[in-house]
Structure 1
Amino acid sequence: MTRSSSRTPMAGGFLLAISLIAGSVIGAIRGQASIGFVAGLGVGLALLIAVWLIDRLRTR
């Protein structure tokens, strides 16, 4: 029998999307939209993993 959790998990997808958009915009302003996109992806993934880890620790 599995344990049911009444608490809903946190979502980090919003942080990833905002990081991608912000990175692309900042990169486009500086003339390097692709590098900005990749940097935004890196920051967004780091934030997404941090949210996931925090959520895992809180549910235990």
Structure 2
Amino acid sequence: MHGRSSSAGGFFLALCIVIGLVIGVAMGNGMLGVLVGAATGIALALLTWLIDRRRAS
């Protein structure tokens, strides 16, 4: 271990899926909300990982 903690991008994934589900159910299409939330969460998690990776270099 390097002794340095990394940022947790998985939080964004979980949060966006839940928010997407809630918005999707409110709009009448829960599955679409989950898919859009998952895509958004994956993008934010990747962005967090890239920023953390650059900071470690």
TM-score (norm 2): 0.94
Q: 2:54 aligns with which of 39, 53, 57?
A: 57
Please show how residues 33-48 of structure 1 align to structure 2 within 5 Å.
Answer: 33-48=30-45
* Backbone CA RMSD of aligned residues: 0.9
- Between Structure 1 and Structure 2, the one with more helix by share is 2
Structure 1 residue ranges, 4+ long, deviating more than 4 angstroms after superposition: none
Could you say which structure has the larger radius of gyration?
Answer: 1
- Give the gaps of 5 or more residues in structure 2: none
- Give the gaps of 5 or more residues in structure 1: none
Partner Cα separation in structure 2 for residue 9 and residue 37 of structure 1: 26
Q: Percent identity?
A: 40
